[in-house]
Structure 1
Amino acid sequence: TRSTRSRRMMIESDRELSAIVQEIWDNDVNRLKPGKDYRISLQGKAGDSMGDNESNDRAGLPLFTFVDENIFKKETFLAFISLLDNYESDTGEPEIVTPEEVAENHRFLDAIIQTRAMKIAHKHLVEKQLSPQDDTEFKEQLYRIWFELYARKGSSRPDSSGFEHVFVGETRGGRTVIGFHNWIQLYIQEKLGHIDYKGYSVTANSPQPDENKHILALQFSWKNGIKPKGSIFIGVSPEFEFALYTLSFLTSPNERVKVQFSFYDVEIVCHHYNQKHIGTTFPVLLRYRNPQ
């Protein structure tokens, strides 16, 4: 039947995608080493209910106990961090994009397309005829996917972008945090005192988190809003996430794709907005595996 065939095709493509992701992972030279370049403190399992009451807080201490900030001087990290303060977090507030911010977006894209991680992703996308081979045109495609503004649910004006949602985080109605799937932003906001880490999240279908692994589901509050459950990579470079999410978006938009690499079986959730932009994307850890 057709569904079996498409399912089989799906499994095939996952295998192919996994091989590319593994190659990107192996070439993520800027990735931090757990326990050496950074340390996190998982503490308790977060409560299921999400009130404001303190009894829900299963973590008295911050998530990050140490990060070697020298890493932030690397070009892609530097360019990435310069983008984090360019956004108005409340959805419904129109984004005003200044010429300086446009230049910063371009500087970030210039930096990441030079990395091995992004070059591997680009090569694969060109082979699949999903991206232009020319670097300038590829950058234009990335700009459209990640930085072009669109109106999120309930807003009439362009108030959001894929980059803002995924990497910076947004608030809805002031009370709910949406998006926010990046560890660098989490670390910086926690250091500024805007984040209160409430504990890790774990379900019957996910393994117990591990402080020395690179994926974590967690609960936290940001400013006045709450993120009941978020899932993030920890310690990876901006180019790794950018390469992985762009690949997932272009090869299977609005899908969940399962990939296997290193120690991880992961589902990458990737929703598009109008077929053109990333709505949201994040990793869901399914299990730890023994690397081959």
Structure 2
Amino acid sequence: MARGQGINQELSDVLNELWKLDVNRMKPGKDYKINLQGKAGFVAEGSNYARDSARAPLFAYVNENKLKSIDTYAHFINLLDNYEMSTGVTEHVTHEELQENHLFLDGVLKTEVMKCAHRYLVCKGLAQSDPAQFKSQLYDIWFKLYRRDKSGGEDSCGFEHVFVGETKHGKEIMGLHNWVQFYHQEKHNHVDYKGYKARNNKDTPDEDDHVLNLQFSWNGLVKPVGSCFIGVSPEFEVALFTIVFLLSDRRVTNVTVKVDEYLLEIVVYRFGRSIGTSYPKMISSNNRDF
């Protein structure tokens, strides 16, 4: 493995352990099928026009029975309609929505993926061993509301930005780095997949990849390039991004890891004691150029 890539080996080892434990990860070709189609084109800054290189949706099939029957997916999906889309609009959390947040975290904490992440963070002195205290820490990281737009009240949180997506003054897409939300939005004709984004001509993705850089429009706004895991469980993403967030107190953390066959850059932005945004960027796959 080339040292020039700056791969963080310790973190890669931990994330590969999480990967092996992710029994709720969907299997490509069996639990879901994606249709990559064409390579997305250039979008001018500030423009909401993108050439459509993908006439069909990204997701040709997803096993909805699994989404409904696996606790963490089911609880995750219940959270997707809990937020105001635009920044600057104050979020009001109802008692029912609060309960849904806690049910999701309780479900995540029962998984072997999150138990492994918790043990690692305790060993690093970054989390308390008491599960209730760890849950409270996770709540602050992911669900504590903060002001993203200075003109309004508390209008955002890590979970909304990363997993649900939001818009800035109704003019720009922010976040939305989750495949389940993408699939749901696409199914309801709110998202239009425009094509994949390749890092270079040699690194074109294939339909079994679990990480994808892509271009899409959402309610008429264009995201020139976004990135997300495909098929992984909610607990895997929460565990991975929480670990990277807690390992550094920098405002922006960029770390290169090798997870399974993927060389990735994991990016995490800090917003005080909460996540501002987090996402993976595919660098390479299938052991090419390592």
Which stretch has the larger CA shift, 206-215 or 81-90?
206-215
Moved over 3 A (4+): 50-54, 153-156
Please give the TM-score of this superposition, normalised by the length of structure 1.
0.92
Residue 21 of structure 1: which of 8, 15, 22 is its match?
Answer: 15
Deviations 1:153-189 (A, max 9, x none): 4433110000000000001121211000000000001
Residues in 1 aligned to 2:151 and 2:77: alpha-carbon distance in whole angstroms:
27
Please give the TM-score of this superposition, normalised by the length of structure 2.
0.92
1:207, CA displacement in angstroms? 1.9
Residues in 2 aligned to 1:110 and 1:60: alpha-carbon distance in whole angstroms:
40
**Partner residue, 2:283:** 286
Which stretch has the larger CA shift, 44-53 or 258-267?
44-53
Deviations 1:86-111 (A, max 9, x none): 00010111101111111100000000
Matches within 5 A, 1:141-290: 141-204=137-200, 207-253=203-249, 254-274=252-272, 276-290=273-287
Gaps of 5+ in 1: 1-7
8 A Cα contact 1:195 1:221, kept in partner: yes
Residues in 1 aligned to 2:253 and 2:151: alpha-carbon distance in whole angstroms:
24
Residue 65 of structure 1: which of 50, 60, 67 is its match?
Answer: 60
Identical residues among aligned pairs (%): 52
8 A Cα contact 1:263 1:290, kept in partner: yes
Is 1:126–2:122 an aligned residue pair? Answer: yes
Gaps of 5+ in 2: none
Q: CA RMSD in A?
A: 1.9
Residues in 2 aligned to 1:69 and 1:174: alpha-carbon distance in whole angstroms:
31
Deviations 1:109-153 (A, max 9, x none): 000001011011000000001011111000000000000001114
Q: Secondary structure at the match of 1:97?
A: coil
| Distance 1:206-1:266 versus aligned 2 partners, 3 A rule | farther
Residues in 2 aligned to 1:136 and 1:108: alpha-carbon distance in whole angstroms:
14
8 A Cα contact 1:91 1:155, kept in partner: no
1:289, CA displacement in angstroms? 4.3
Residues in 2 aligned to 1:155 and 1:182: alpha-carbon distance in whole angstroms:
27
1:205, CA displacement in angstroms? 8.6
1:206, CA displacement in angstroms? 7.8
Residues in 1 aligned to 2:18 and 2:138: alpha-carbon distance in whole angstroms:
17
**Partner residue, 2:102:** 106
Residues in 2 aligned to 1:177 and 1:169: alpha-carbon distance in whole angstroms:
7
Deviations 1:40-71 (A, max 9, x none): 001111111254446x1111110000011111
Q: Tell me how many residue pairs correspond in the alignment.
A: 280
8 A Cα contact 2:149 2:155, kept in partner: no
8 A Cα contact 1:112 1:239, kept in partner: yes
8 A Cα contact 2:53 2:195, kept in partner: yes
8 A Cα contact 1:264 1:285, kept in partner: yes
**Partner residue, 1:38:** 32
